[in-house]
Amino acid sequence: MESPTILKFTISLSFFCMLLLFASTLNPVFGLKNCNFPAIFNFGDSNSDTGGLSASLATIKPPYGETYFHKPAGRASDGRLMIDFLAKSLGLPYLSAYLDSLGTNFTHGANFATYASTIGLPISIIPAGTFSPIYLNVEYSEFVQFKFRSQVLRQKAQRDSYGCAKPYNEVAQYFNHKLKEAIVQLRKDLPLAAITYVDIYSVKYSLYSKPKEYGFELPLIACCGYGGIYNYSSSINCGTTITVNGSQIFVGSCERPSVRVNWDGIHYTEAANKFVFDKISNGAFSDPPIPLKMACHKIKT
C-alpha cells in the first residue's frame, strides 16, 4: 500500500492550482487512482485565510460570509474560498485557522494564512498599519511549532486510558486474530491433532487495566530499575551499580515485588507470571475451553 502524501501549499494558492492544471494537460493520468491526501497545510494571505485574522487581530463583520455560511466565517469573501473547495474535493473538512482556538480541528491539517500577510517583514502592521504581523517567516515558525507539539501530543494520543502503547497492542491483537484464523485451518489440515489456542494477551492486559482488583499496584513502573517516570532506562540494567552525583547506587528491587507487575521494565514479576498461569490453567481463556492438563485430548467442535 502506498504511503499517504501530505499536500503542502506555497504562498500563492492560485499559482499552485495553475501548476496542477498545467501538469494534467501535458501528462494525462486519467487511468490512475486518485491520490490520498490526508492533510493540507496552507500558507498565505487573505485569499486563503479561513479565520486567522478574525481570531487574532481584527473581527470580520457582515455582510462577509452571507452567501454560504450565512454569517461571517473568518473569510474575506461572501462565502467559501478556493482552499475550501480544494479541501472539499479531496474529501477533507474545511481547514481550521492555526490562530483560532475555538472549534478547531487539526486532524486533517492546519491553515497558517492570515489576511494582509506579506512575504517579507511588513513596514506597518495592524491595527495601526495595513499589514498583518504574521508574515511568511512567522507562518513557517508556527508550522514548525505545530509539527513539534502535535507529534508530542500524538505520542501521548497513542496511549490508551491505562497508559499502554495503543499501536503496539493493536498489532498484537491483529496478530492474535490472524493466529486464530491459522489454527482453524490447521485443524482442518491436521484432523487428528489436538490444538489449543490460549489468549494470554487478555489476561496480561487485565493486570494493567484493573491491577487493584487483583492485588497489584503501579503496573507500568519497573520494580527493579532506575530513571524516568517508569523507573526504567534501556542503558541501566537491573542488578548493576551506577554513579549518580558522585555516589554509587545499586539498581535493586522494589520493596514489594509480590504486588508489582513489571520486574525490570521488560519482563514480568513472579507474582504476575503466577497470576497469568492461574488464569489460563483452568481453560477459561482457551479455545477449546478445557484445562491445560487435558489439552492433549481432541475435543469435537
**Positions marked catalytic:** 46, 264, 267
Read off the DSSP letter of residue 95.
P
The residues, any chain, with a CB within 8 Å of residue 239's CB and separated by 6 or more, are 224, 251, 252
Show Cβ contacts of residue 11 under 8 Å, excluding neighbours closer than 6 positions. 43, 44, 45, 119, 136
Do 158 and 169 meet the contact criterion of CB atoms below 8 Å apart? no
Q: Is 61 helix (H, G, I), strand (E, B) or coil?
A: coil
Pair 40, 52: CB distance under 8 Å? no
Residue 226 near residue 249 (C-beta atoms within 8 A): yes
Backbone conformation region of residue 70, classed left if phi is above 0, alpha if psi is from -120 to 50, else beta:
left
C-alpha cell at 20: 496542477
H or E element in which residue 41 lies:
strand 40-42
Rounded CA-CA distance 261/240 in Å is 21
Where is 202: in which H helix or E strand? Answer: helix 200-209
Please report how many Cα atoms fall inside a 13 Å half-sphere around the Cα of residue 25, on the Cβ side: 6
Per-residue CA distances from 32 to 18, 29, 46 (Å): 20, 6, 34
